[in-house]
Amino acid sequence: MKRQVLIEADVEMRLSDGAVLRSTVYRPDAPGRFPVLLTRTPYGRDLAVNSAYLNPATVAAGGFIVILQDVRGRHGSDGTFTPAEHEADDGAETVEWAANLPYSSGRVGMWGRSYFAETQWRAARRRPQGLAALAPGICAAGNADNGALFRGGAFELGTRLSWGQGSIGLEEIRRECEGDPARLARELDIWNELDARFADGSAYATLPLNELKSQANGFLQSVILPSASEDPGGELSRAWDWPVREPVPLPTLHIGGWFDIFLPNTLAQYRTQLEASGRNAAPRPRLILGPWSHTNFTGIFPDVAFGATASSAAVNGLGDLSSIHARWFEHVLNEGPEPEMPDVLVYFMGENRWRAFDELPEPDSRLDLFLGRHGSLQASPGISGAEEYSYDPLDPVPTTGGATMHLGADLAGPAEQGAVESRDDVLVFSTSPLEEPLTVFGEVTATLFANSSAVDTDFVVRLCRVTPDGRSIGLADGIVRASWRDACAGDGVFRAGPPPRPLVPGQPEEFSISLWSTACTFQAGDSIRIQVTSSCHPRWDRNLNTGVRAADSSVPVVARQRIMLGGDTPSRISLGTLSGGPLTHRP
């Protein structure tokens, strides 16, 4: 039954400390009480992009109260914005306020992606009265040192600077200059000048990075750039980590993308809830993993377009994400019918279709492929050898696709790698064309035996699918900062703890690198390809090869890198594989 919808703007809620938060409320124009769907955002509660993910008007017409709230210090809400600091307490108070509205049923579900999702976890930790379900999408909450702030010891330069300049910076300028038009005009001129430098890439090339402070907005100056000088595992990382250390006893719907900047955290959140469900400490979680990036849910990228049902507008014939949210919330908040969707729905690239599972499976087996001489990628280590290249920090390998979110021309996703692979500082190793399909699934890890002429450097490994026509498409990649290699031991996942340890120039070392996870069926005639290099800029900050971060220095040295192959130094890639017929869901 569809109802007429009332839209109320600037609905105020006063926090216990006196700050006023403002919301836009969509609710049925009908008698009775309805469950609440709440989201809290720093980007503007009436931002149109929200409707592509969960359309508040159509969902409210179906019998929900949908509340979109500006978090403290952003857009319509009072106070000062400090990322994450107030979201637990403010979120919990907001949930209880929403549960007690006169037209509320008292049951509240939270929804939203990225920062919106982090606000859910933080509020849930306070166990507010009325909170009954969470639907976090592409969410950073979890390990800040595995993609949110750092990756393998390297700083997430492109994402962090883009967030501080674009998503957050403009609103901070508006608030700082409110009531002073002349100052606002001056600050916007400065912002536009720097924004043009982000668009052409020159801002990312600044050395030292801290020189950007002279043009940066206050948020970029005070929050983002200082973090580029920090080390993983510090106070900033710990502040980010805490919301999902323990499960919450609530039903959860998790939404992620294979090219999302927070993919491993989404998977960890799901697995934490799944483990709790096995102990009867929480309902079984649900998961949707699409061929999506942090900002692109269409399944269409410049170099690759997946099938029509890859889009969030038509997920495997189940409808759009907005209607999927609504049906799930109707079930968990309103005791509605079980939604006609599997517990886990995963998009497999290569075969370009969804597979359904009762829970996210583990790979059936692991396949090790060894880097060999003459660019081979083979099933056995082979004889000893080595490949060498020089890495010049002033001429880094440009970021080309992947799990990114940058201002400028570089776009996330599965990008063609021809230009990257033609460079002298990129090593390429490929299998022969496959004779039969092979489904690669789950975590991908690399082990490199290497030495360098430098006291510190980076190693980047990328997994690609090479189609019979010779196109090399990037699927997954990862990085290790050599001085942080001790924190990347074992399974390749970064764990902050051991302090940085310089390299001894020329001394061989073993490096573990996590390429995160993927799901791709390599068809007969395809080849598996691995790239090895030492930079991916501006995704990660350049290693100057000196032991000093690029935030603080403009003095690089060229490093001579040697990758050892075969024998007692079997550099390799380890892939999870999945066999058996696909469980493709049919609505």
259-270 pLDDT per residue, tens: 999 999 999 999
Report the Cα 270 to chain-centroid distance in Å: 14
**pLDDT tens digits, one per residue of 457-473:** 999 999 999 999 999 99
* Residue pair 434/527 in contact by the 8 Å Cβ criterion: yes
What does the mean pLDDT of the chain come to? 93
Nearest Cα neighbor of 128 from 163, 87, 177, 167 is: 87
Q: What is the pLDDT of residue 185?
A: 94
Model confidence band, residue 508 (pLDDT cutoffs 50, 70, 90): very high
User: Looking at residue 183, what DSSP letter applies?
Assistant: H
* Pairwise CA distance, residues 134 & 340, whole Å: 19
Burial 192-217 (b: 16+ CB within 10 A, else e): eebbebbeebebbebbbbbebeebbb
pLDDT of residue 584: 42
Q: Are 257 and 292 in contact (CB under 8 A)?
A: yes
pLDDT recorded at residue 1 = 74
SS (H, E, C) 124-137: HHCCCCCEEEEEEE
Alpha-carbon distance of 458 to 445, in angstroms, equals: 16
Give the per-residue pLDDT at 575. 97
pLDDT at 580: 61
pLDDT in tens, 359-392: 999 999 999 999 999 999 999 999 999 999 999 9
* Percentage of the chain lying above the pLDDT 70 cut: 97
Q: Is the pLDDT of residue 582 over 50?
A: no
Helices 115-125 and 87-99, packing angle to 10 deg? 80
Average pLDDT over residues 542-557: 97
Rg (CA), the chain: 24
Q: 248-272 b/e with 16+ CB inside 10 Å = b?
A: bebbbbbbbbbbbbbbbbbbbbbbb
* CA angle (298, 300, 304) in 5-degree steps: 155
> What's the pLDDT score for residue 585?
36
The Cα-based distances of 541 to 225, 400, 419, 463, 481 in angstroms read 12, 15, 21, 21, 10
Classified as helix, coil or strand, 351 is: coil
DSSP symbol at 177: T
Contact 472, 539 (CB under 8 A): no
Reported confidence tier of residue 491, pLDDT bands at 50, 70, 90: low
Residues 71 and 123: beta-carbon distance below 8 Å:
no
Domains recognised in the chain with CATH numbers: 1-137 (3.40.50.1820), 154-230 (no CATH), 365-577 (2.60.120.260)
Helix (H) or strand (E) holding 277: helix 263-278
First to last CA, the chain: 22
CA 486/CA 476 separation, integer angstroms: 22
Q: Which of 241, 248, 261 is nearest to 143 (CA)?
A: 241
Contact between residue 63 and residue 334 where contact means Cβ atoms under 8 Å apart: yes
pLDDT value at 581 more than 60: no
Distance between CA atoms of 41 and 94, rounded to whole angstroms?
13
Q: Does residue 572 contact residue 370 with C-beta atoms inside 8 Å?
A: yes
DSSP bridge partners of 135: 111
pLDDT reported for residue 235: 77
State the pLDDT at residue 586: 35
Residue 335 has pLDDT above 80, yes or no: yes
pLDDT digits over 231-240, tens only? Answer: 888 777 777 6
Alpha helices in 27-152 (DSSP H): 49-53, 56-61, 87-99, 115-125
What percentage of residues in the chain have a pLDDT greater than 90? 83
Q: Which residues, in sequence order, are bridge partners of residue 476?
A: 463
Distance of CA 262 to the CA centre of its chain: 2
Task: Give pLDDT tens digits for 281-330.
Answer: 889 999 999 999 999 999 999 999 998 899 999 999 899 999 999 999 99
Burial class for 490, CB neighbours closer than 10 Å (0-12, 13-18, 19+): exposed
Highest mean pLDDT among 158-167, 490-499, 570-579: 570-579
Q: Which residues neighbour 532 within 8 Å (Cβ) at sequence distance 6 or greater?
A: 371, 387, 426, 427, 429, 448, 459, 460, 461, 563
- For residue 144, the model assigns a pLDDT of 87
Once rounded to an integer, what is the mean pLDDT over residues 410-431? Answer: 96
Read off the pLDDT of residues 21-78 as tens digits, 9 standing for 90 and up: 999 999 999 999 999 999 999 999 998 777 779 999 999 999 999 999 999 999 999 9
**470: which 2 tokens?**
């010779």
150 token code pair: 């750092």
Query: Which residues, including other chains, have CB under 8 Å from residue 213's CB and lie 6 or more apart?
Result: 220, 221, 225
Q: Check residue 489 and give its pLDDT.
A: 72
* Helix count and strand count (H, E) for the chain: 13, 23
In this prediction, residue 583 carries a pLDDT of 43
Which residues are CB-neighbours of 207 under 8 A, at least 6 positions away? Answer: 550, 553, 554, 556
Phi and psi (nearest 5°) for 307? -65, 165
Other beta carbons within 10 angstroms of residue 552's beta carbon come to 13
Phi, psi of 56 (to 5 degrees): -65, -35
Task: Give residue 234's pLDDT.
Answer: 79
